[in-house]
Amino acid sequence: METKDSDLSSLRINRSEKQVPGISKKNITIITTLIIIAILGLSGYFILHAVFNSALEVKLTTATLQTPAQSNAIFTASGYVVAQRKAAVASKGTGRLVYLGVVEGDKVKKDEIIARLEDNDVNAQLSESKANLELQQSGLIDATNTYEREKSLLKTGSATQADFDAADANYKHELASIDVAKAQVQAAEVELENTIIRAPFDGTVLTKDADVGEIVAPLAGGSNSRGAVVTIADMSSLQVEADVSESNIEKVTLGRECEIILDAYPANSYSGYVAKVVPTADRTKATVLVKVGFNNYDSRVLPEMSAKVLFLSNDSTNTSSSEQQPMLVIPSTAIADRDGKQVVFIVKNNEAVQVQVTTGQQFDSYVEIKSGLKNGDQVINNITDKIKDGIKVKVS
């Protein structure tokens, strides 16, 4: 048959190459390449991670401008300027305010009249008391004359003992009435004085608490009444009341030199001293109140200003810190001696870079930097022998 002569070679199965159904040689090459790339990437990551973890961990500190006094501070505390002599001036009587002679910022002297209350009723009472005193004085004259006359008549026998005793009793009654009338006059004068409000001491008016036409009462019991008319402070009694942590209170001694910096004028400072340590603690804040006095201050210092107090070491200079020029300083632990040179290390691209500096004065734990750094530069602190130029570092 013809089928016997036909070529059956095309029906033979080729078993020389194994193929995966649906995956060509090209696809296998791509997959293999991706796997190799992934392996290399992971290897690089772990290598870099290992290198980074081997970097030396360091801490940074900042070069700052400070006065010598600030560099010698053993610790700081915050507080407020408070007038130690301050009064809310009120009247002893109740009435309508008809005169107020001061405003905020005015200076007053002790016993100066600063306000008056309406006094028509009190003046009327005083006039009545004075009139009653005059009447009692007239009665006393009559009683005195009668007493003297009865006394003479008794001696001659022209008057009885009963007449004399009656005259004597009337005389003593009039004397007592005079004392009562004088007391009434004095009470009315006191009431009149209570309508006058005077300054209790030399000071400056801080606030005006009432206006003309308002009712003023000692206790301000009514919703429409005022208690204090003005608030006065003695500006020569200003001190900073600072809250000092209990952990630092043992470092505070009376007379210790301090530096006061007002938040309103951070570029200026005032020299001060520890004036008093209040003998009680605040359990909620774990602090003790310390009063710091000013050695000198100007008109810019006002009550209730917030302030920072730097408590200085005992070897600090007594020169007013306001007269000292600030200088660039860093902690002494940030400076190293390498090959006879004073150097510091800054961090660039995770590497320690050595920078030569010129140092100046030593202030407790700080050193003056004359050249090599500028204000705000950050350098590695706590230099050790392991820190070298170009070493890998990691900032903690």
pTM score, whole prediction: 0.58
Average confidence (pLDDT) over 79-90: 94
Average confidence (pLDDT) over 337-358: 91
Confidence class for position 71, pLDDT limits 50, 70, 90: low
pLDDT value of residue 343: 93
pLDDT value of residue 319: 47
Q: Is 137 exposed, middle or buried (0-12, 13-18, 19+ CB in 10 A)?
A: middle
pLDDT at 1 over 50: no
pLDDT value of residue 224: 57
Point out the least confidently predicted range of 65-74, 199-208, 216-225, 246-255: 216-225
Confidence class for position 99, pLDDT limits 50, 70, 90: very high
Beta bridge partner(s), residue 230: 89, 208
Q: What sign has the CA pseudo-torsion 293, 299, 302, 307?
A: negative
Tell the CATH topology of 86-232: OB fold (Dihydrolipoamide Acetyltransferase, E2P) (2.40.50)
Confidence class for position 171, pLDDT limits 50, 70, 90: confident
pLDDT at 321 over 70: no
pLDDT at 108 over 90: yes
- CA angle 336–341–347, rounded 5-degree value: 50
- How many CA atoms lie less than 13 Å away from 231 in the CB half-sphere? 9
Point out the least confidently predicted range of 24-33, 90-99, 172-181, 310-319: 310-319
In the chain, the percentage of residues whose pLDDT exceeds 70 is 85
More confident residue, 1 or 340: 340
Which range has the top average pLDDT, 238-247, 332-341, 347-356? 238-247
CATH class assigned to 56-67+325-395: mainly beta
pLDDT value of residue 283: 92
pLDDT at 279 over 90: yes
CA distance linking residue 86 with residue 201, whole number of Å: 9
Tell the CATH topology of 73-85+236-314: Elongation Factor Tu (Ef-tu); domain 3 (2.40.30)
pLDDT tens column, 144-160: 888 888 888 888 888 88
pLDDT tens column, 367-380: 889 999 998 899 99
Cα dihedral 383, 387, 389, 391 in deg (nearest 10): -140
CA distance linking residue 376 with residue 393, whole number of Å: 20
More confident residue, 383 or 30: 383
Structure tokens at 165: 């005793």
pLDDT at 9 over 60: no
Beta bridge partner(s), residue 57: 394
Point out the least confidently predicted range of 16-20, 40-44, 46-50, 249-253: 16-20
Average confidence (pLDDT) over 197-209: 93
pLDDT at 314 over 90: no
Going from N- to C-terminal start, the domains of the chain cover 56-67+325-395, 73-85+236-314, 86-232
